[in-house]
Amino acid sequence: MPATDLTSQQQATDARLGPRANVSWAARVVLNPQSYVEARVVNVSADGLGLVCERAFPDGAMLHILIALPDPLDRSKYHYPDLHTKVMFHVAKGGKFRMGTRFARIDPGMKALIETWVQKG
């Protein structure tokens, strides 16, 4: 991959509006009612999620994602929001794929919980 492509990809990665928080949350990308791909949420912002998984999804793809979202006030409790995101970019790294996604549909209560995580940094 030429250096200019990597630079452009890094700029796309950093183009998200607002702050984001690094996290490590279990996730699943639902392919259909009987199958899914395991993933990991590696960062969150008010606008979307950074995901890592073993499968690439093309830019523009709509993903149905289930995450294990710890309660920011009591980390022994979890919420399991049903999210819909759009893939904004994907990059291959170390045999896995890192994707930047933007929320397409999210429950307002879950969005508020995610924003609490972002504010905590």
How far the first Cα of the chain sits from its last, in Å, is 32
Return per-residue pLDDT of the chain as tens, 121 residues: 333 333 444 444 445 567 999 999 999 999 999 999 999 999 999 999 999 999 999 999 999 999 999 998 898 999 999 899 999 999 998 889 999 999 998 999 999 999 999 998 7
Question: CA torsion angle for 81, 86, 92, 93 (degrees, to 10)?
Answer: -40
CA atoms within 13 A on the CB side of 99: 29
pTM for the structure as a whole:
0.83
Q: Alpha helices, DSSP H only, in the chain?
A: 3-13, 108-120
Query: Which residues pair with residue 83 across a beta bridge?
Result: 65
